A and B are shown apart, each in its own frame.
Chain A
Amino acid sequence: MYAFVQSASSRRILAVALALTIGGVGYWTLRSFPPTADSWYPKCVFYQATGLHCPGCGGTRALGALVRGDLLLAIRNNPMVILGIPTMLALVGLQRRRERSGRSAFPRLAWALFFVLVIFFIARNIPSPTTSPFAPPAPTFTSS
């Protein structure tokens, strides 16, 4: 088993299988049980403790809106999860490919991602966590 996990190609197969499984289970769960105000999905601990929106707040609702086909509501709930994460993964993947081919890495990519996250974090809470245009709106859709 260890030898299997060690080989690069089988690791890739494992990763793809794992991603498909998680994606499938997540899709089914979010479609069957939409995240509402009183749903049992884990709520952001940081938000409950401080009242501030963290960069991931609204992520479950965003994915919930996405699997129902409401892209705008999804972006409204959490642009970082819907737009930012795919962009980041693409950039990091590009970075890896660049390094593997022997060229120098984009030296500031990691710092750029860090500042984007921090600025997004601040922007969601000004002027206040409830009135910021980047804050997730209160959960609207009900279980139907």
Chain B
Amino acid sequence: MFCRKCGVQNADGASNCSACGNPLALNPYQAQMPGMASGEKKPKNYLVESILVTLCCCLPLGIVGIVFAAQVDSKWNAGDQAGALTSASNAKKFTLIGFGVGLVVQAIFIGIQVLAVVGAAAQANNNGGF
């Protein structure tokens, strides 16, 4: 593990940094934190993005995205790094697909509404309404 103060690499499990003497395990949680020993970082879970997709454009896919985003945290905390990575890539996938599908469906609906308005105006013209 690396010293958080001076960055020098130390043997895993050492209590103090060999270079500067800084304590390496500041609290019991830190020693247990999964991923700390290997120096890996928790993958991005796309939680905020999937919630925004759920609210803005595409409900079902966004909900799936949130579920995978939540799995990233649970699995990472349980020490399942591979599982967390899989969930993270799924969360990204569903969030992006949800965003794309939402945009397309919105565009189609707006197109239909515009056509309806134009059609109604044409109808009114034909009937001599204006």
CB <8 Å contact, B51 and A117: yes
Chain-A contact segment, one of B8-16, B42-50, B122-130: B42-50
Please report which residues of chain B, range 71-128, place their CB below 8 angstroms from some CB of chain A when the two chains form the complex.
72-74, 76-77, 102, 105-106, 109-110, 113
In the complex, chain A residues 76-91 whose Cβ is within 8 Å of any chain B Cβ = 80-81, 85, 88-89
Contact B30 A56 (CB under 8 A): no
Contact B55–A45 (Cβ < 8 Å): no
Chain B positions within 8 Å of A46 at CB level: 59
Least distance between B75 CB and chain A CB atoms (Å): 10
A7, CB-defined interface residue at 8 Å: no
Question: Which residue in B30, B45, B54, B77 is a CB contact (below 8 Å) of A117?
Answer: B54
A122 within 8 A of B: no
B20 at the interface (CB under 8 A from A): no
Q: Is the beta-carbon distance between B73 and A109 smaller than 8 angstroms?
A: yes
Knowing that A102-B26, A104-B32 are A-B contacts, what are 8 other residue pairs whose CB atoms are under 8 Å apart, sorted by A's residue number? A45-B106, A54-B55, A55-B55, A55-B59, A92-B48, A104-B33, A104-B77, A117-B51
Interface residues in chain A, defined as those with a beta carbon under 8 Å from any beta carbon in chain B: 42-43, 45-46, 48, 54-56, 59, 80-81, 85, 88-89, 92, 99, 102-105, 107, 109-111, 113-114, 117-118
5 examples of A-B residue contacts, CB within 8 angstroms: A45-B106, A45-B109, A56-B56, A107-B77, A111-B74
